[in-house]
Structure 1
Amino acid sequence: MDREPPSRIGSKPSDLGDFSATRFLSNPLMGGVESDWSPMHEAAINGRLLSLRRLISQGWGVNIITADCVSPLHEACLGGHPACASILLKHGAEVDGVTTDWHTPLFNACVSGSQECVNLLLQYGASPHPACDLASPIHEAAKRGHMGCIESIAAHGGNIDYHISHLGTPLYLACENKQIACVKKLLESGVNVNRGRDLESPLHAVARASNEEMATLLLDFGADMQAKNAEGKRPFELVSPDDPLFQLFMQREEPPSLMQLCRLQIRKCFGIQQHHKINELLLPDELKNFLLHS
């Protein structure tokens, strides 16, 4: 990952070393001091494990932060380097440290899509829920299609149907960003197919994106074609008549079959993140596959 380090405080052009003349106004060996881009940050973002070990052995603090409160752990997770994150955590790195943009290491791990980093952070007690709704890890993972990160967060108590007013649900963000595999997995996990952002449903987002495959998925999982957004429009009213998606909506206008209604109701009874229990039912495989949309 190419990254330009920020301007350095108190740097001296004549003091060149391994880390491009990094100097500090305060003692850089103190954990938690405010500094500029440090050798610790440099090693962490680039996945230089040996350099990181050497710096720690020399007395560098693992919780040294920049003016924006970015720690080496933030950078290790943003770079997707679980080995670097692990050594930092073992030496006492703050697992839930928050930057001035409200980014936590867990949020950064979801940006990079590193499920290993996500698992590691959660094992060290990272909160699965955001410190601030401006930076929600599970929403960031959904937007980028990092379903593995979502599954790990959910396994540690995270709500995969978590609604944030300005973002909506993870499903809505996945639809809005055309993350089809993520949409499918969220639906299979039992999220509310009709909950999006305010009055805008996931099906509205798919209609705006004109994505037939995602629309079919949502409709198969019981999306409401009659739901109206803030403008009073139903999903099919956002699609031009010559769009293939419009034809799909017209075909699905008929009331769902009794079989489909039964499937949706049974799945609803199992609730969110409980659909693995369908496989434990004493039912023929064909019927279990039907309930699981397999």
Structure 2
Amino acid sequence: ILPTQINKTRKRLPYSADSWADRTPLHEAACQGRLLQLRDLITEGFHVDTLTMDRVSPLHEACLGGHYACAKFLLDKGANVNIISTDGATPLFNACSSGNAACVRLILQCTAFIHQAHQLASPIHEAAKQGHSECLELLLSYGAHIDLELPVLGTPLYCACLTRATDCYICLFALGPCSLSQLCRLSVRRSLGKSRLHAASSLFLPRSIKAFLLYH
């Protein structure tokens, strides 16, 4: 990678650029969306959750770059969907930052924590601030609080207004808070847990209920 390319990449990282010095080939492959290289490195013995000093994982990189195939591969290999970097970023936050709705949906389907405690790394605030309305709608459909207010960031609506993200502004007004049925679905999914979500399809329930639980 050329030095100029490194500088450009550093500017878009939501976490500290100091992590660049101890990045591994696995991080680089995930960052660039090189799926075949990623597979080879995992086969050679690289751990799927290899972290930099700032706790940046390959999954962080894949989501930040919006590389769905790489993110899915890492998750299939057991990557921690809720790993938190030193600066508070999660893979979900990075996916919202990239604006890749497919990555956001993938992370959410793996039961990622929607509400990040770090005041500067809230997925819903990031989606609203960046103007990624599709990502915002996904977060809200999975139970993100529409009026979540943080001391530093304010509400998602405030973030959308601040950056003049018109689509997100309209989305926040149109969708409103979660319905009771949505809250029930989230409760059932959390009770099942990630490892048992697939079992919902084999339950003795009407097909419409199964589809509802699995977001189909």
Q: Which residue of 140, 162, 168 corresponds with 1:245? A: 168
1:118 match:
38
Contact 1:188 1:275 in 2 (8 A): no
- What is the 5 A alignment of 1:131-210? 131-134=51-54, 135-166=56-87, 168-195=89-116, 197-210=118-131
1:11 match:
none
Give the number of the structure with larger relative contact order, counting CA–CA contacts within 8 Å between residues 6 or more apart: 2
Unaligned segments of structure 1, at least 5 residues: 6-98
Unaligned segments of structure 2, at least 5 residues: 4-18
> How big is the shift at 1:4?
6.6
Contact 2:131 2:165 in 1 (8 A): no
Structure with greater helix percent: 2
Identity of aligned residues (%): 28
Aligned positions, number: 198
CA distance in 1, matches of 2:50, 2:30: 12
RMSD of equivalent CA atoms: 2.7
CA distance in 2, matches of 1:179, 1:136: 18
* More divergent stretch after superposition (160-169 vs 111-120): 111-120
Is it true that 1:103 corresponds to 2:23 in the alignment? Answer: yes
1:36 match:
none
> How big is the shift at 1:273?
5.3
TM-score by length of 1: 0.60
Say which one has the larger Rg. Answer: 1
* Aligned-partner residue type, residue 29 of structure 2: A
Change (3 A) 1:245 1:131: closer
- What is the 5 A alignment of 1:54-93? none
Moved over 4 A (4+): none
2:142 match:
221
Change (3 A) 1:284 1:119: farther
> How big is the shift at 1:151?
2.5
CA distance in 1, matches of 2:128, 2:140: 12
